[in-house]
Chains A and B, each alone.
Chain A
Amino acid sequence: TACKFAGLSDISISEDIPVEGDISVPVGSQNPDDDFSTLDEPVKDTILRDLRAVGQKFVHVLYPKKSSALLKDWDLWGPLLLCVTLALMLQGGSADSGEDGRPQFAEVFVIIWFGSVIITLNSKLLGGTISFFQSLCVLGYCILPLTVAMIVCRIILLGALSSVSFVVRLIVVTASFCWSTFASTAFLADSQPANRKALVVYPVFLFYFVISWMILTFSPSP
Chain B
Amino acid sequence: MSASQGSTNTNTEPWGSFDDNVIQGSGSAVIDMENMDDTSGSSFEDMGEIHQREEEEEEVTAEAAATEEDNGEYGEFLGMKGLKGQLGRQVADEVWQAGKRQASKAFNLYANIDILRPYFDVEPNQVRNRLVESLIPVRMINFPQKVAGELYGPMMLVFTMVAILLHGMKTSGTVIREGTLMGTAIGTCFGYWLGVSSFIYFLAYLCNAQITMLQMLSLLGYGLFSHCMVLFITYNVHFHSLFYILWLVIGGLSTIRMVAVLISRTVGQTPRLILCGTLAALHMLFLLYLHFAYHKMVEGILDTLEGPNIPPIQRVARDVPVVANAVVNATIKSIAAVVQSQ
Contact = CB atoms under 8 A, between A and B. Distances in A.
B131 to A, nearest CB: 12
B71 A23 contact: yes
B113 A198 contact: no
B333 interface: no
A202 B156 contact: yes
Interface in A6-52: 8, 12-14, 17, 19-28
A99 B305 contact: yes
Given A14-B15, A102-B179, A195-B124, A216 B170 contact: yes
A17 B70 CA distance: 12
B176 A217 contact: yes
Contacts of A8: 42, 77
Interface in A115-130: 118, 121-122, 124-127
A196 interface: yes
A21 B120 contact: no
Interface residues of A, number: 48
B310 interface: no
Given A99-B177, A99-B305, A107 B113 contact: no
B75 A213 contact: no
Contact of B86 (A27, A122, A202, A219): A27
Nearest to B162: A210
A198 B15 contact: no
Interface string B148-189: 000010011001101100110010000111111011000000
Contacts of A148: none
A104 B42 contact: no
Contacts of B250: none
Interface in A172-214: 195-196, 198-199, 202-203, 206, 209-210, 213-214
A4 interface: yes
A26 B75 contact: yes
Contact of A25 (B68, B75, B116): B75
Contact of B159 (A99, A103, A107, A203): A203
B113 A20 contact: no
B89 to A, nearest CB: 6
Contacts of A1: 41-42
A126 B14 CA distance: 45
Contacts, number: 117
B71 A20 contact: yes
B160 A206 contact: yes
Contacts of B56: none
A199 B175 CA distance: 34
A1 B42 CA distance: 7
B120 A125 contact: yes
Given A121-B113, A199-B152, A206-B160, A22 B71 contact: yes
Nearest to B70: A21
Contacts of B78: 5, 23, 25
Given A21-B71, A25-B79, A206-B160, A100 B42 contact: no
B185 to A, nearest CB: 10
A55 B205 CA distance: 57
Given A4-B42, A125-B116, 8 more contacts: A23-B71, A23-B75, A99-B305, A195-B124, A198-B124, A199-B127, A203-B159, A206-B160
Interface of A: 1, 4-5, 8, 12-14, 17, 19-28, 97, 99-104, 107, 111, 118, 121-122, 124-127, 195-196, 198-199, 202-203, 206, 209-210, 213-214, 216-217, 219
28 contacts: A4-B39, A5-B42, A8-B42, A13-B15, A21-B68, A21-B70, A23-B71, A25-B75, A26-B76, A26-B89, A27-B86, A27-B90, A99-B180, A100-B179, A100-B180, A101-B175, A102-B176, A121-B113, A122-B120, A122-B152, A125-B117, A126-B152, A127-B121, A196-B123, A199-B124, A206-B160, A217-B170, A217-B178
* Minimum-distance CB pairs A-B, first 10: A21-B71, A100-B179, A125-B120, A1-B41, A25-B79, A26-B93, A23-B75, A198-B124, A103-B178, A217-B176
